Structure 1
Amino acid sequence: MKSLERLGNRPVSLPLAADDVVEFHMARLLLLLRLCGTAGRIDGLTKMAKLDFFVRYPDFFETARDQSNGTGISDRAVESAMVRHHYGPWDKRYYHVLANLEARRLISVAKEKNSYRIALTDLGQDRAKRLLELPSFAPIVSRMKEVKSAFGSRSGTSLKDMIYKVFDEEVGRRRLGEVIEA
């Protein structure tokens, strides 16, 4: 994963995937904190990762939401891959992305007992607000609002347990570090 700043000398003929650009992940997490958190913060890396899982795996989200509502199951697609980790879906880039956000004073990270509180700073709130206004982020903003409505009040552990129950084959039975696919 590289910063757009470091890709300037790259030949324009080479394809570039948004998934390979740190700023893309930074923008998504800023929006996640703003839209899926409470007052611009999410308590716990597990909760952040599970909400992000549902944003990045829209068909998995629909399946989980439908099962929690008692309705049907949909086919599954993936926007940006994650891997199976000890506590469910995880992206190894989180630490890198969160460090970048904190270094740019867009978030604060505070340890509270056995958890981390990730919160937008005033500058982070401002940048997230700007991202909300961009038409290119409209689809992900819409999905985040749905994720917040369906699962925003649940704890990280509750989300993890639900993911393992609903997606045992797709997530729970995968080896640690294995990519979660549709």
Structure 2
Amino acid sequence: MSLRLLKAAAATENMDDFHLSRLLLLLRAFDTPRKRHSVQGIMKLAKFDFLLRYPTCLKRALEAVDKSEELLQMGEYETMNVEAKMIRFRYGPWDGRYRRWIGLLAARGLVETYIEKNTIHVNITDKGKAVADQFSQEEEFKLIAQRSQLIYKYFNKLSATAIKDFIYKVFPEIKTIKWGDEIQL
């Protein structure tokens, strides 16, 4: 691997737009024709994003709920790949930039947030849906959009605590990682 490629990968990891587009596609999956669902809590959003960032973990999670027939399409390159690393935090996988990213999405009119019972809810707006729908047609984002749909379909009904417990059960190795260290699965 060349130094130029490594520098490009590092630069991409630090680009907000890269993360905003992924979160927008994830939030789009929660807006169904029947009902608009908010993601209830930043911690819950982080857990869903963990499954999206770590394709091999999403595969394991789907197997854990006996949905192997709907396993995501994974290229061989993805078996050793993580889209964007996360760290271990008190309640599982975390990235300290979520509040900034949600603020950026809200400032652009792509999401709206509200607080209910001390929980921040995040909803995609009509403008956000239009942008996410455009992204989902692009080759680079098709797999992220499909995986977001799988996450919504199989894990949306779990509470924030239940998804945290599920992640610790399916990925017990996360418990052994020190707080603040990168998750390498």
Alignment TM-score, normalising by the size of structure 2: 0.81
Partner residue of 2:48? 51
> Is 2:138 the partner of 1:134?
yes
Post-superposition CA distance 1:108-141 (Å, at most 9, x none): 1111112110011222122112112212211211
> How many Å apart are 1:86 and its aligned residue?
1.3
**Residue identity in the other structure for 1:22:** D
> Is 2:184 the partner of 1:181?
yes
> How many Å apart are 1:104 and its aligned residue?
1.2
Kindly indicate whether the alpha-carbon contact (under 8 Å) linking 1:40 and 1:119 is maintained by their aligned counterparts in 2.
yes
Gap change, CA 1:52 and 1:14, over 3 Å in 2:
closer
Gap change, CA 1:133 and 1:172, over 3 Å in 2:
same
Partner residue of 1:153? 157
Larger helix proportion of the pair: 2
Residues 61-100 of structure 1 aligned to structure 2 (within 5 Å): 61-69=58-66, 77-100=81-104
Partner residue of 1:119? 123
**Residue identity in the other structure for 2:20:** M
Kindly indicate whether the alpha-carbon contact (under 8 Å) linking 1:36 and 1:147 is maintained by their aligned counterparts in 2.
no
Q: Return the alpha-carbon distance in structure 2 between the equivalents of residues 40 and 123 of structure 1.
A: 16
User: Quick check: 88-97 or 61-70, which moved more?
Assistant: 61-70
Gap change, CA 1:125 and 1:33, over 3 Å in 2:
same
Identity %: 36
Q: Return the alpha-carbon distance in structure 2 between the equivalents of residues 85 and 51 of structure 1.
A: 15
User: Quick check: 51-60 or 138-147, which moved more?
Assistant: 138-147
Gap change, CA 1:125 and 1:35, over 3 Å in 2:
same
**Residue identity in the other structure for 2:133:** K
User: Quick check: 34-43 or 79-88, which moved more?
Assistant: 34-43
**Residue identity in the other structure for 1:148:** Y
Partner residue of 1:21? 15
Q: Return the alpha-carbon distance in structure 2 between the equivalents of residues 133 and 70 of structure 1.
A: 25
Gaps (5+ residues) in structure 1?
1-11
Kindly indicate whether the alpha-carbon contact (under 8 Å) linking 2:88 and 2:177 is maintained by their aligned counterparts in 1.
yes
Q: Return the alpha-carbon distance in structure 2 between the equivalents of residues 91 and 128 of structure 1.
A: 22
Alignment TM-score, normalising by the size of structure 1: 0.82
Kindly indicate whether the alpha-carbon contact (under 8 Å) linking 1:26 and 1:101 is maintained by their aligned counterparts in 2.
yes
> How many Å apart are 1:41 and its aligned residue?
2.5
Q: Return the alpha-carbon distance in structure 2 between the equivalents of residues 83 and 22 of structure 1.
A: 17
Cα RMSD, aligned residues only: 2.3
Kindly indicate whether the alpha-carbon contact (under 8 Å) linking 2:31 and 2:124 is maintained by their aligned counterparts in 1.
no
